[in-house]
Amino acid sequence: MNITWAILMMALGSVGVQHGQSQADAAAVLQSASNTAIVANQTAPPSAAGTPQDWVAGGAATTPGPSASPGASEALDGAPLPDPQPDSPKVKGIYVTAYSAGGSRMDTLLNLVDATELNAMVIDIKDDAGYITYQTDNAELQQMGKPQPFIRDITQLMERLRKHNVYPIARIVVFKDSVLAKKNPQLSFVKSDGSVWRNKGGDSFVNPYNENVWKYNVEIAKEAVKLGFKEIQFDYVRFPEGFEKRADSLKYTKAPGKSRVQIVADFVKYAKRELNPLGARVSVDIFGYAASVPAAEGIGQDFVKISKNVDVISPMVYPSHYSTGWFGVKDPDKNPYATIKGSMADTHKKLNPLGSYKPIIRPWIQDFTASWLGGGHYIKYGKQQVEDQIRAMKEQNIDEFLLWNASNRYTPGVDYEK
């Protein structure tokens, strides 16, 4: 369908909720994509530990702090690094909250994996609020963040995963981080009254231009690798929703000549270069319709630029997140097969030009019922709907996937080899 019309339809339509993101988030992202010319001039280097008096409105710092990673920008030169795990199994996984991982529900989830073709779990190690989800003894992480014992014994958890032959993936929410923003306002976006900016949901973001934010998240990732996680999955690798509308009214540091798209891509490159020598894969979650629209300059996400520098890209292609008209379907949630097949075709088309740098495509698919779409626009999701999505992916030569259900209650009896 016409891209401009698709953007308009998506912005006006119902888009659902996933990965903690609201309908407003998704609509704002599409609005960002339709305003590709809105890119602020970047006039100051990223601050590692700037103070409020260092800032001016719109982010131009007069006395920027030192880089968290001296020489990091030079280190980002060169070709993307290869997959450190070329012989890894084809991943078919489920999302697991820290609460489930540290509680009784883990027994049920392990039984599901044992009894089916599923073989992986994506576990929250830094969650949507910004909490590190276990008690780390890393003094730096303790000082900057706020570890919580949601997973009471992380070592025991890793041993359980090993015994059940589960491929462990650590989910780290990066730039949406209310904990870090509250403890370190200089790493966030500050309003004219000196308070940290929050979105309509009460959440704060930290500044992707600030290399201390990069270093903090990558240190969490490195610790996860030491614990035994084989892959790090970064989520919320972007600026806040609708950021271009408030970019000039908030105080934060920027980098000279760096657009939001470039700085987000640079973070991904940095994370990959830091984690690749440890043998860990890097994956990134991204809005599924990013494959079907231009780059979202407002939030700094470019599907191709991000994909080129990861081992795995995970577009969130839940049918409930596409509105009327996408892929020729009146109600995408009610036709998961057609919606997934269309989104995967667009994904291949977008990424094929990368050639040898094309990453593994491992989508997030829907195992929940989107009742918020309203009567007549959704259906109850169960065995048939999950299998329809898997069948559509298989027909598009996609044989890896992740199932999302926020409450970790997955449909029984699904043939994951459909």
Domain definitions of the chain by residue range: 3-404
> Whole-angstrom Cα distance, residue 187 to residue 209?
9
> Whole-angstrom Cα distance, residue 145 to residue 124?
15
| Model pLDDT for residues 139-173, shown as the tens digit of each residue | 999 999 999 999 999 999 999 999 999 999 999 99
Domain 3-404: give its CATH code: 3.20.20.80
pLDDT score for 223: 98
Residues 6+ away with beta carbon under 8 Å from 120: 91, 92, 93, 94, 166, 167, 168, 169, 402
pLDDT score for 62: 29
pLDDT along the chain (418 residues), means of 10: 38 39 52 42 29 33 35 66 95 98 98 98 98 97 97 98 98 98 97 96 97 98 98 98 93 94 97 98 95 92 97 98 94 98 98 97 98 96 98 98 98 94
C-alpha dist (Å) from residue 234 to 107, 192, 329, 347, 363: 26, 31, 31, 19, 14
DSSP 344-368: HHHHHHHHGGGGGGPPEE--EEE-S
pLDDT score for 79: 87
> Whole-angstrom Cα distance, residue 199 to residue 181?
13
pLDDT score for 17: 41
Q: In Å, how far from its chain's centre is CA 292?
A: 18
